[in-house]
Each structure stands twice: as C-alpha cells, then as structure tokens.
Amino acid sequence: MPAPLRASDTGVQLMHRYPAMAALLASVALAGCSGGGPGAEVTRSAPADAIAATAPRVPALAAATAQDAQSALIGGLLARRGVLSAGPLADVAGAVLAANSRAAEAGLRAAMLRSQARSRNWLPRLGPAVNLTSLGAVVTSLVLNQAILDHGARAAERDFARADVEVAAVALAEDANARVHQALGLYLAAQRATAQAEVLARAESEMGRYLWMIEERVRAGVSDRGELQAAGQRRDQIAADLAADREAAAVALSELQAMAATPVAGIAGLSPVGAPEAGVVALSVLRAQAEGSRAVAEATVTRAGYLPGLSLGGDLGGPGLGLTLGAQNGLGLGQGAAIEAALAEAAAVEANVAREDENARREIASLEGRLASFLRQEEEARRLAAQAQETLALMAAQQAAGQRGAQEVIGAIETRARAERTAAGLAHDIVAARIAIAARLGLLVDGERM
C-alpha cells in the first residue's frame, strides 16, 4: 500500500505514487479539450488585478448574457427599451441610476459565480479523506467520486444555478425600475407644486392691485372695512396655499437630490412618456417564471436523492476504484410522498405564474383606467379655467367702467386661480400615471443600462 500523503509531495510525485489518479486526470483533461462535457474548455487566465484595472465596467445584465447566451429571459431583459424620451425625465433617471448602490447587481454577480461553479459539476470530484487508524496516527488519502447514474441530479443542479442567475437578473431590473419610479415621483411632485405655485403667485399679484383699490375706497369712506377684510381673507388664503406649494416643491427636490449623483435643481419641465409596446411581459411575471424554473430544478434534485444512483469512486491510495449503488437521501416510509411532492412542483409553478400574470394585467388595467380619468378631468379643468379667464376679463372691464366692484373681481381671480391650479396638477397626474404603467411593466430603464 502506498505511503500516506505528505504536505511536501509535488504533483509529479503524486502521479508516480498513484498511477490510477494519473490515468483518470489525463482522460478528464482530454475530454475537456474535445468538448467532453457541458461548458468544457481550456483557457489561460490573466491575473485578476490586471483585468480589473484595464477592462471597462460591463453592465451586470450584459455580463450575465455573455455567460449564459442561451437564457432567453436575460436576453429579453437586455433588449428592453425604456419609454422615457430624451428630456428632463430621462435626465432625472440618469442622475439617480448613477448614484445607485447596486445591491441587486452584487446579488446578480454572486449568482453568476455560483452558476459558473455549478457548470463544472459533471467533472469527477476529488477530495481528501482523513482516517484515524490508531490512537496515535492519522492517515490521509485522496478520494475520487464520479457519478455514473444520478437521475439528472447534476444537470438539475446546473439548471438551478442558471435559474438562480435569472432570478437575480429580474431582481436587478426591478430594483432599477423601482428606483427610477421613486425618483420620478419626487420630481413630478416638485414640478407639480412649482406649477401650482406659479398660478397662485400670479393670482396673488393681481389680487394685490384690487385690494389696494378697496383700501383707498375705505380711506375715502366710500366702502366699509368689512369689504376690505373679506378681500384680505381671500388673498391671505391664496398666499397660504402658495407657501404650502413652495414648501412641498422644496422638500421633494431636496429628497430627490439625496438620491441623485449630480445636481437636479436645474432640471425643470416635462418630457414625453412613450406607450409600452404590445406584448411586454411584466417583471413580476418574469420573476415568477424564473423562480418556478429554479423550484422545478430543486425538486428534480430532491427527487433524484430518493432514487438509487450509481457512482464510481474509491481511495486513490488504496487497492483501486469500485462501483457504489445507493440513494443519497436513503430509504424511508415517507419516500413516496416526498417524490410525489417534488413532481407536483411543476403544477404549482404554472399556477403561480398564471396568478402573477393575472395580477399584473389587473393592476395595469386599473392604472390605464386612472389615466383615462385624468385625461378627461384635465380637459374639463382646462375648459373651466378658460371660462374663468373669460369671466375675469369681462368683470375687470366692467369694474374699470364702474359697473363692478373690486371685491367681485377678486372673487373672479380666485375662481380662475383654483381652476388653473387644478389643471396644472392634473397635467402632472397624467404623466405620473403613464410612468406608473411603465414601472409596473419594467420599462423605465433600458436593459443595456442595468
């Protein structure tokens, strides 16, 4: 029997002392060169530090696609195009994506590494064994194990790792879209408050001129102080609403700036939001599909563990190799139920995907209904604002001719201001509804930017 392994042994010395291991490793090497297994290849690696220093940063989705070119799900995510056209909304999205902590990207890269490790699980497993031969001696040796019949367990492990990458890729897309959706919500809140403040500021300025007229009439004894107080209360209410809108805009802009990598105070206005393409699958449905594939692969591994398998293995320092027949999970009274449970996983996956698809379609239908309602309300609000402006112009002319009082003109200014403020808010609500639909589908960020 060959002597125990020593820490000072070199690879060449091990080959001479264990000819069986030498022959096995030679056959594995030839199989790898000729494409003898999934993903088998011969490469010469450069130092990791040198690669990190010279290679540009590759988006996580692009790296995942390069690693697993057969994943239709990841390829579809990478090919997605967002609905944000060039303009202020796209500028805000770019600013917050640049400041993303990329926790989901780290999870995707970790899943890619796990998948890469699992892609070589078809190779023989070679590891040390330590045996206590007596109270004072420990003998070490190399143990080889190569599965011959495993009922698809190792292939399912590779499928599990690939599905794990897909789940992480969908999580990355969801994280990016959720971040942009939150940032655009803050931006729209700031822009809405700013637009409403502009309407109220104009109304306050106009009221001030007619309020001065009433003050002069009170001083002349033509009007009483009650009329002045009523007009002053209307202007004070407009001023209070104006201050509230300005504060809301400042708070939303401050919170948005905390999310952005570049200053956003100079960004203003709205830009078009495109309509989603027909047939786009929501990210929640894609996540359910990827999680389902992972669950099915895990169930396959579990089922294979209850079935008898055949493997070739033995101690390379011993007399030789031999065949082993056995079940990884052993035999038990609940074996049949465990196998049936694993087989039932596929049906559960289909039901879960169908439920997620139904939920997504229902939520999108609700958002589309809100969008239609906002469009109708905005049209009505603009019509009312135009009528209020016509009434105000008529009453201002009548007041100048002495046919109307200043108090009536101030009331008309307030009515027009409320209508214009409502219309300004609804214009931003429409954009917010369109963004919400795109966010539910996962179309706020281009796939190539994730």
Q: For the segment 204-263, what is each residue's pLDDT rounded down to a tens digit?
A: 999 998 888 888 888 877 777 888 888 889 999 999 999 999 999 999 999 999 999 889
Query: pLDDT over 70 for what percent of the chain?
Result: 65
**CB of 120 within 8 A of CB of 310?**
no
Computed over every residue of the chain, the mean pLDDT equals: 76
At 48, is the pLDDT very low, low, confident or very high (cuts 50, 70, 90)?
very low
Residue 7: phi and psi, rounded to 5, are -65, -25
**Domain residues for 318?**
57-441
Q: What is the pTM of this model?
A: 0.72
What's 424's domain CATH number?
1.20.1600.10
Greater pLDDT, 203 or 327: 203
Q: What is the pLDDT of residue 6?
A: 45
At 71, is the pLDDT very low, low, confident or very high (cuts 50, 70, 90)?
confident
First to last CA, the chain: 58
Kindly state whether residue 48 falls inside one of the protein's structural domains: no
Q: What secondary structure letter does DSSP report for 142?
A: E
Kindly state whether residue 168 falls inside one of the protein's structural domains: yes
Q: What is the pLDDT of residue 41?
A: 39
Kindly state whether residue 47 falls inside one of the protein's structural domains: no
At 147, is the pLDDT very low, low, confident or very high (cuts 50, 70, 90)?
low
Inform me whether the pLDDT recorded for 169 exceeds 70. yes
Q: For the segment 85-120, what is each residue's pLDDT rounded down to a tens digit?
A: 999 999 999 999 888 766 655 666 665 656 555 555
At 405, is the pLDDT very low, low, confident or very high (cuts 50, 70, 90)?
confident
Kindly state whether residue 300 falls inside one of the protein's structural domains: yes
Q: For the segment 309-345, what is each residue's pLDDT rounded down to a tens digit?
A: 666 555 555 666 556 655 566 655 566 676 677 677 7
The highest-confidence range among 39-48, 73-82, 233-242, by mean pLDDT, is 233-242
Place of tokens 């931003």: 428
Structural tokens at position 43? 């490469």
DSSP 296-322: HHHHHHHHHHTS-EEEEEEETTSS--E
Kindly state whether residue 198 falls inside one of the protein's structural domains: yes
Inform me whether the pLDDT recorded for 393 exceeds 50. yes
Kindly state whether residue 111 falls inside one of the protein's structural domains: yes
In three state form, how does the secondary structure of 358-427 look? HHHHHHHHHHHHHHHHHHHHHHHHHHHHHHHHHHHHHHHHHHHCCCCCHHHHHHHHHHHHHHHHHHHHHH
- Indicate the number of domains in the chain: 1
The highest-confidence range among 30-44, 86-100, 341-355, 411-425, by mean pLDDT, is 411-425
Kindly state whether residue 7 falls inside one of the protein's structural domains: no
3-class state of residue 238 by DSSP = helix
Kindly state whether residue 446 falls inside one of the protein's structural domains: no
Greater pLDDT, 332 or 379: 379
At 8, is the pLDDT very low, low, confident or very high (cuts 50, 70, 90)?
very low
